[in-house]
């Protein structure tokens, strides 16, 4: 396929690279020239704006860091909406169902189909092509796009309702956000009582407490104190806030979600939006007066 790809960050760059390696022809755009140059060296063509991408191809994908970025790229001045060829806009970002529905309505006025396509699995999943790819939109468009999406991960059709895949993504990321802070509290409790955190993680992973934080994040980024898993605290907090908003709109009881949300607000205040989200353990450690992992 001829595919436009906008947003070549930590997730977008490896996804775009995999599409090129699979034989797709890419037209790429990012505000950072060095990111564009990396893919041009692999055979992609460069564009100077989202509009120029949408002038050159019918299928435009985007992987962007914020709701406002998705809205502007899709529907703003010099955006995809102004392109002469674009027929479909596939948003790989996490923007929540409300924003997805808004973008859907605006693009529909120009006969451009908006496809929700958030992904989960982190930078490692993007590099390996093992992401969970959640799709909502017209079934015929899904069938057309599926061969390309198969390149970046395991594809799930969530439904035709605009925003449905976003709801699925928020449910997933709420669980991921809960896992890292809950595991942090559990391990800090053990360390405060004199347990070895590495042994704790081994036991948890062999038992019923195993989760994505204990399985992946703690061994790789928390116990070694590298805090480099590759997902920013600011992005996690954005997703948690979106999940809380959606739960409220649905009139749900959300005692656990509220508590998780408060914890992540503490993390972003203490560690900053640019910190790695595995640094969530740090404010919990400070309150307990312990350090988990490292050489202590």
Annotated catalytic residues are 169
Which 3-state string (H, E, C) describes 62-93? Answer: ECCCCHHHHHHHHHCCCCHHHCCCCCEEEECC
Long-range contacts of 261-265 (CB under 8 A, 24+ apart): 263/181, 264/177, 264/181, 264/233, 264/236, 264/237, 264/240, 265/237
- Assess contact for 125 and 96: CB atoms under 8 A: no
**249 contact partners, CB below 8 Å, separation of at least 6:** 98
> To 10 degrees, what angle do helices 255-271 and 233-249 make?
150
Rounded CA separation 279/226 (Å): 9
């Amino acid at each position: 396929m001829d595919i436009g790809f906008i947003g070549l960050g930590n997730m977008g760059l490896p996804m775009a690279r995999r599409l090129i390696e699979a034989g797709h022809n890419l037209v790429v755009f990012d505000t950072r020239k060095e990111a564009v140059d990396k893919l041009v060296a692999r055979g992609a063509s460069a564009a100077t704006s989202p509009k120029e991408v949408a002038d050159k191809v019918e299928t435009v994908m985007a992987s962007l860091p914020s709701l406002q970025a998705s809205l502007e790229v899709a529907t703003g001045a010099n955006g995809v909406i102004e392109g002469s060829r674009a027929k479909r806009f596939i948003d790989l970002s996490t923007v929540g169902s409300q924003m997805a529905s808004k973008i859907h309505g605006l693009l529909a006025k120009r006969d451009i189909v908006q496809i929700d396509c958030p992904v989960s699995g982190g930078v490692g999943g993007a590099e390996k092509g093992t992401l969970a790819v959640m799709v909502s939109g017209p079934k015929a468009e899904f069938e057309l796009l599926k061969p390309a999406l198969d390149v970046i991960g395991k594809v799930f059709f969530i439904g035709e309702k605009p925003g449905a895949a976003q709801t699925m993504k928020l449910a997933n990321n709420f669980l991921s956000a809960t896992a890292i802070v809950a595991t942090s509290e559990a391990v800090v409790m053990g360390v405060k009582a004199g347990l070895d955190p590495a042994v704790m993680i081994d036991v948890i992973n062999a038992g019923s407490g195993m989760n994505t934080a204990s399985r992946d994040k703690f061994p790789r980024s928390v116990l070694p104190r590298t805090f480099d898993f590759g997902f920013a605290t600011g992005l996690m907090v954005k997703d948690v806030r979106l999940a809380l908003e959606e739960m409220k709109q649905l009139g749900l009881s959300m005692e656990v979600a509220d508590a998780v949300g408060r914890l992540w607000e503490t993390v972003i205040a203490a560690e900053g939006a640019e910190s790695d989200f595995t640094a969530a353990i740090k404010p919990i450690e400070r309150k307990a007066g312990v350090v988990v992992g490292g050489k202590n």
